[in-house]
Amino acid sequence: MDQVTSGWVTYDDIVTNANVSYVAGGAAQNAARAASYVLPANTVAYIGSVGDDDLKNTLQKANEAEGVLSAYQIQPPPSKTGACAVILSNHDRSLCTTLRAAEEFTPSHLAHPDVANIIDGANYFYIEGYFLTHGIESALEIAKNASSKGKVVVLNLSAPFIPQFFKVQLEELLPHVDILIGNESEAAAYANATGMADAPLSEVATALAALPKSNTSRPRLIVITQGASSTLVASSTPSTSAGNVKPSDANPKTYPVPKLSDDQIVDTNGAGDMFAGGFLGTLAQGKDLDRAIEVGHKLGQMCVGQNGPKLVYPRVNV
Q: How far is CA 197 from CA 98, 193, 229, in A?
A: 31, 8, 21
User: Helix 27-38 crosses helix 271-284 at what angle (to 10 degrees)?
Assistant: 40
CB 20, CB 307: distance < 8 Å: no
Tell me, what amino acid is at 226? Q
Residues 6+ positions from 111 with CB-CB distance below 8 Å:
none
Secondary structure of the chain: what % helix, strand, coil (to 5)? 45, 20, 35
CB 94, CB 127: distance < 8 Å: no
Is 52 marked active-site? no
Q: Which helix (H) or strand (E) holds 291?
A: helix 289-304
The one catalytic residue among 120, 198, 249, 273: 273
Backbone angles phi, psi at 124, to 5 degrees: -125, 135
Nearest to 136 by CA among 114, 103, 94: 103
Backbone angles phi, psi at 47, to 5 degrees: -115, 125
Beta-bridge partners for 223: 181, 233
Positions annotated as catalytic residues are 273
